[in-house]
């Protein structure tokens, strides 16, 4: 019976296997490594070492042989003892001993016992299925001249930096355009989905002049209708509902709209600011929403197409 097979089986699950009166085989974890000269990639492994000082029987090998061969523990010890004598005789006569799948034992010129592990076997269970491989550096072939030219990594990095600079310039330009458009009175604050909105809001683009109706007669009729006081029992001036013609970030733009509306005989004014801090230009004061909406369609038809009804919060003048 040769015990190399049983030693090899035990090394997969144990870090030390002692052969009584001969020595111990020790498994140490070795991480994966790369050989930059040979371009060799090796997975992690359990590196096997030999210690001739570990000769005390711990029962591991004998019990394993006993279970595998279905023999008694003492019979297993006898088989181990016979194999140890064979190992010692081979080292004495030939100065070397091959332990299958484990490694090579030999004596050097000074009489020292040296162990060289078998690199073909990896006893690390976590590395099962992984093997060493070679991977040469990537090269680029010039098809016209048939030469192999190494990739210029410096030039590649420069191209990457240039691409990043172009993307940065595009983002900066987009920010600059957005910032300057906000100065022209265009409202982008409504795009903030996290902003608190107390009432329905519309972004309004300032126009050079108020659009007029197609027919002069219709326009005069609309102006006359808008200038009539709403029919209500209560005082209309105390109402909380107003028609909003536009919202502006800069007060000068709001004042210009008020001026143009007053030139059209519409009693407009700046009625305050909304939740985003925009100046609102409003018309009229109505005690009910129905009264405000009854004039809203004529206001939209004659002046601002996206006008809307605003309700002042209770308790505010």
CATH number at residue 276: 3.30.70.1070
At 197-225, the pLDDT tens digits run 444 554 444 444 444 433 444 455 555 54
Q: Is the pLDDT score of 65 beyond 90?
A: yes
Within-domain flag for 152 = no
Q: Is the pLDDT score of 120 beyond 80?
A: yes
Q: Within this chain, do residues 103 and 12 fall inside the same structural domain, yes or no?
A: yes
Least confident of 147-151, 162-166, 193-197, 271-275: 193-197
Where does a domain end: 85, 116, 134? 134
Please provide the size of the chain in residues. Answer: 317
Q: Within this chain, do residues 10 and 119 fall inside the same structural domain, yes or no?
A: yes
Higher pLDDT, 233 or 95: 95
Within-domain flag for 20 = yes
| DSSP sequence for 55-124 | -S--SHHHHHHHHHHT--HHHHHHHHHHHHHHHHHHHHHHSEEEETTTEEEEE-TTS-EEEEE-TT----
Residue 140 main-chain phi, psi, to 5 deg: -120, 125
Where does a domain end: 134, 151, 186? 134
Cβ–Cβ under 8 Å, residues 24 and 54: yes
At 282-313, the pLDDT tens digits run 988 888 888 888 888 888 877 787 888 888 77
- 120 vs 125: CA distance, rounded Å: 14
- 249 vs 184: CA distance, rounded Å: 9
Q: Is the pLDDT score of 11 beyond 70?
A: yes
Where does a domain end: 105, 134, 163? 134
Work out the mean pLDDT of the chain and round it to a whole number.
76
Domain that holds residue 112: 4-134
| DSSP sequence for 160-213 | HHHHHHHHHHHHHHHHHHHHHHHHTT---GGG-TTS--SS--------SSPPPP
The band of 237, judged by pLDDT with boundaries at 50, 70 and 90, is very low
Query: Domain total for the chain?
Result: 2
């Amino acid at each position: 019976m040769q015990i190399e097979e049983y030693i090899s089986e035990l090394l997969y699950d144990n870090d030390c296997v002692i052969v009584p009166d001969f020595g111990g085989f020790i498994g140490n974890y070795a991480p994966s490594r790369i050989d930059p000269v040979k371009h060799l990639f090796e997975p992690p492994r359990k590196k096997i070492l030999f210690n001739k000082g570990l000769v005390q029987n711990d029962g591991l090998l004998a019990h394993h042989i006993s279970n595998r061969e279905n023999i008694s523990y003492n019979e297993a010890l006898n088989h181990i003892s016979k194999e140890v004598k064979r190992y010692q005789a081979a080292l004495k006569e030939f100065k070397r001993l091959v332990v299958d799948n484990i490694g090579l034992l030999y004596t050097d010129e000074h009489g020292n016992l040296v162990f060289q592990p078998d690199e073909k076997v990896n006893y690390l269970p976590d590395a099962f299925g992984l093997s060493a491989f070679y991977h040469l550096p990537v090269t680029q072939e010039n098809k016209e001249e048939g030469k192999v030219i190494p990739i210029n990594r410096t030039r590649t990095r420069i191209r990457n930096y240039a691409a990043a600079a172009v993307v940065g310039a595009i983002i900066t330009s987009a920010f600059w355009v957005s910032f300057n458009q906000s100065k022209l009175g265009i409202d982008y604050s409504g795009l903030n989905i996290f902003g608190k909105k107390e009432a329905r809001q519309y972004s309004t683009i300032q126009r050079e002049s108020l659009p007029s109706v197609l027919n002069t007669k219709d326009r005069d009729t609309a102006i006359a209708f808008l200038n009539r006081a709403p029919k209500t029992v209560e005082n209309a001036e105390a109402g909380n509902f107003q028609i909003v013609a536009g919202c502006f970030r800069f007060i000068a733009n709001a004042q210009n709209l008020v001026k143009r509306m007053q030139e059209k005989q519409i009693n407009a004014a700046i009625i305050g600011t909304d939740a985003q801090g925009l100046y609102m230009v409003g018309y009229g004061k109505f005690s009910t929403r129905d009264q405000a909406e009854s004039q809203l369609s004529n206001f939209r038809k004659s002046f601002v197409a996206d006008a809307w009804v605003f309700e002042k919060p209770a308790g505010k003048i």
